Amino acid sequence: MILLFSLLFAFLFFILLFLGLMAVLRRRREVAERIQMFSGYQPSVVRKASVFEVLRSRLHEIFAEKARRTDTGLGRKKLDLMMVRAGLPLLGSEFLAISAGGALLVFVIFALATRNPVTGLLALLLFLAADFVFVQRRITKRLDNFQRQLADCLSLVANSLRAGFSFLQTMEIISREMEPPMSTEFERVMRDTSLGKSLDEALHDMDERVGSADFSLVVTAVLIQQQVGGNLATILDTIRETISERIRLRREIGTLTAQGRATGIILACIPVVLALFFYTLAPSFIQPLITTTIGHIAIGAAIILEIVGFIAIYKIVDIKI
């Protein structure tokens, strides 16, 4: 009997939760349609949001409101900028909350599985490091994709200007015709300008979101041309040639330094692979490193030297253009 009442209560609870989310969704869509009507700009893709997206959006609003009330420092803004550059629909506080929750779960699992809190702590640190490495790799990948599209984007802008389009019309064409992340960034610029932000501010915000030195050059050229005049199409053609040459040099240097990067990765992985190999086939060889104080010191020194060596090799092959 108690089980039946529990199931009935759970069913009614989820029904009420579903109806509440649907009401929130309907209200949000009405507000969005009203904003689009007054802004005069329609996004390239309009689709019906699911219940999970509404729930995620609601959690996003809660974190954003709490962040505005409790923290206005540079740390929060830097984390928020990292999420934007990585293309993740999260705030910095949301990312920290998810990482902290996952790290705590990993700590509990490994600590209970091995019955050793030190192992759980190491797993926690590795999980947190993996989270930030994941975000940094997404930032790098998104920036590389943007820079590869930049030359084609400048060609499209220059040709459109020669054909008689205005700069705002050209940005709208880019937001429709090109692939992300270029299209999404210009779509956001169009949305910002439609909602009252000046073109200078919108371009500066886009430059900060992208974090590309090549695009900073483009933004500077556009803003100077708007102040002093000149042939913007010719200026953009010159910048496009410069950027294309820099991209070619980056690819050539990447090819020439590929062996050095592979060497650094292999040298960093060899000790780990050998340790797992001996621990599997001959555990007695590895036991002194795990059970004695001198072994712990040796493992710590080896890890530090591995990190220093990997960073040194990475700095040698990381040639800035």
Q: What is the pLDDT of residue 71?
A: 53
Residue 207 is assigned to a structural domain of this protein: yes
State the pLDDT confidence band at 277, using cuts at 50, 70 and 90.
Answer: confident
Q: What is the dihedral sign for C-alpha 189, 191, 192, 198?
A: positive
Nearest to 151 by CA among 215, 233, 87: 215
Residue 71 is assigned to a structural domain of this protein: no
Could you report the per-residue pLDDT of 176-235, keeping only the tens digit for each? 888 888 888 888 888 888 888 888 888 888 888 888 888 888 888 888 887 887 788 888
Which of 213, 246, 279 delimits the end of a domain?
246
How many Å separate Cα 183 from the centre of its chain? 16
Residue 4 is assigned to a structural domain of this protein: no
Percent of the chain with pLDDT over 90: 0
Shared domain check, 168 and 213:
yes
The pLDDT of 118-124, averaged and rounded, is 80
Which of 211, 246, 281 delimits the end of a domain?
246
Shared domain check, 186 and 230:
yes
Could you report the per-residue pLDDT of 8-53, keeping only the tens digit for each? 555 565 566 555 655 555 555 555 555 554 444 444 444 444 544 5
Shared domain check, 310 and 219:
no
| Domains identified in the chain, total number | 2
b/e for 53-85, b at 16 or more Cβ within 10 A? ebeeeeeeeebeeebeeeeeeeebeebbebbbb
Q: Is residue 61 scored above 70 in pLDDT? A: no
Shared domain check, 277 and 235:
no
State the pLDDT confidence band at 170, using cuts at 50, 70 and 90.
Answer: confident
- Domain extent, residue 269, equals 257-321
Shared domain check, 219 and 170:
yes
- The overall average pLDDT reported for the chain is 76
Shared domain check, 261 and 241:
no
Shared domain check, 239 and 170:
yes
The amino acid present at 244, given as its one-letter code, is S
Q: Is residue 274 scored above 80 in pLDDT? A: yes
Most confident of the following: 27-31, 67-71, 78-82, 202-206: 202-206
Shared domain check, 236 and 317:
no
Q: What is the pLDDT of residue 46?
A: 42
Residue 3 is assigned to a structural domain of this protein: no
Residue 272 is assigned to a structural domain of this protein: yes
Structure tokens at 136: 């940094």
Selected residue with higher pLDDT from 1 and 158: 158
Q: What is the pLDDT of residue 64?
A: 53
Task: Tell me the CATH number at 162.
Answer: 1.20.81
The pLDDT of 95-116, averaged and rounded, is 83
b/e for 257-291, b at 16 or more Cβ within 10 A? eeeeeeebeeeeeeeeeebeeeeeeeeeebeebee
Structure tokens at 143: 């920036």
Shared domain check, 205 and 270:
no
Q: What is the pLDDT of residue 150?
A: 87
Structure tokens at 11: 């069913």
Selected residue with higher pLDDT from 320 and 103: 103
Residue 293 is assigned to a structural domain of this protein: yes
